[in-house]
Amino acid sequence: MAVVFERPRALTDQKFRYCPGCHHGIIHRLVAETIDELEIQDRTIAVASVGCSVFSYEYFDTDAIQAAHGRAPAVATGIKRAEPECVVFTYQGDGDLAAIGTAEIVHAAARGENITVIFVNNAVYGMTSGQMAPTTLIGQVTTTSPDGRIPSRAGYPIRVCELLNTLEGPAYLARVSVHDPRHVREAKKAIKEAFQVQLSGKGFSLVEVLSACPTNWHLSPLEAIGWIKEKMIPYYPLGKFRNTMEVKKHG
């Protein structure tokens, strides 16, 4: 019997610890498929961050390291500078990347560091059980914004791709979503392009993936998908903000 679907080689058989309806599993799979297709498993180094995906070093069947909260781009920089032939990627959530790790992500991008960042934005601190994140939407209720996020008290959500797009350094910036099969395919394409940018030595690449957190949004998995479409995408528009490869091709 022909195998039509199986676990990517770049994923271990460790069971995911993610909640029902969480999108980390899909995103892990897309990264692993990319590693398989580009045949880079033997030279890839994954940098796990702090948050729900802290155990990603157990899921990716590659060499891996666990970084302190927010520091993954700095750790990835050290690895890439010492092992330039390796493919180095970080896997970070919004609290890790856009709050405590703001300096590290901005400067890794500004240096044009030749690494790939998978940035999972679910508008909430997941692992610590649903506090307000730097990406929490206006009006969104969390355990630390019980009246909804009010700008006069808690400021505004950060659009990371747009912020980094003001810098000269990045070679690839895209925002995608995985809330339906069409968008999953587009997300896969962007993740693969980001790794290809690194392989071609073009520099910093980042894919922001909008992701559901039904547990901390207090929604069913299906309602959470609706929330991405109706609330998140209008504030966080999908698309490619930077693609050095394409400019090269057409230019």
Partner 1 sequence: MDRVLMKGNEAIGEAAIAAGCRYFFGYPITPQSELPEFLSRRLPQVGGVFLQAESEVAAINMVYGAASTGARVMTSSSSPGISLKQEGISYLAASELPCVIVNIMRAGPGLGGIQPSQSDYFQATRGGGHGDYRTIVLAPASVQEIADLVIEGFELADHYRMPVMILGDGTLGQMMEPVRIDGTAKVKIQAKPWALTGKKGRARNIINSLNLDPEKLEMHNRKLEKRYQEIKERETRAERYLTDDAEIVVAAYGIVARVCKAAVDRARAEGIKAGLFRPITLWPFPDMELNEAAGRAGNVLAVEMSLGQMVEDVKLALNGRVPVSFYGRVGGVVPTVANVVEEIKKVSEKYRKVK
Residues that bind partner 1 (CB under 8 A): 41-45, 47-48, 54-55, 57-58, 61-68, 71, 74-83, 85-87, 103-104, 106-107
Would you say 95 or 214 has its CB closer to partner 1?
A: 95
Report the nearest approach of partner 1 to the CB of residue 82 (Å).
4
Nearer to partner 1, 170 or 214 (CB): 170
Nearest approach in angstroms of CB 46 to partner 1 is 9
CA dihedral angle for residue 62, residue 65, residue 69, residue 108, rounded to 10 degrees: -80
What distance in Å separates the CA atoms of residue 47 and residue 231, rounded to the nearest whole number?
30
Amino acid symbol at 76: A
Instruction: Give the nearest distance from C-beta 152 to partner 1 in angstroms.
Output: 30
The least CB distance from residue 10 to partner 1, in Å, is: 10
Tokens 């995985």 belong to which residue? 178
Nearer to partner 1, 65 or 158 (CB): 65
CA angle 223, 55, 204 (to 5 degrees): 85
Which residue, 57 or 119, has its beta carbon nearer to partner 1?
Answer: 57
Considering the complex, state which of residue 12 and residue 131 has its C-beta at the smaller distance from partner 1: 12
**DSSP H helical ranges for 69-148:** 72-82, 94-95, 102-110
d(CA 180, CA 16): 20
Question: If you ran DSSP here, which 8-state letter would residue 149 be given?
Answer: B
Contact 112, 170 (CB under 8 A): yes
In angstroms, give the least distance from the CB of 44 to partner 1: 6
State the DSSP code for 133.
-
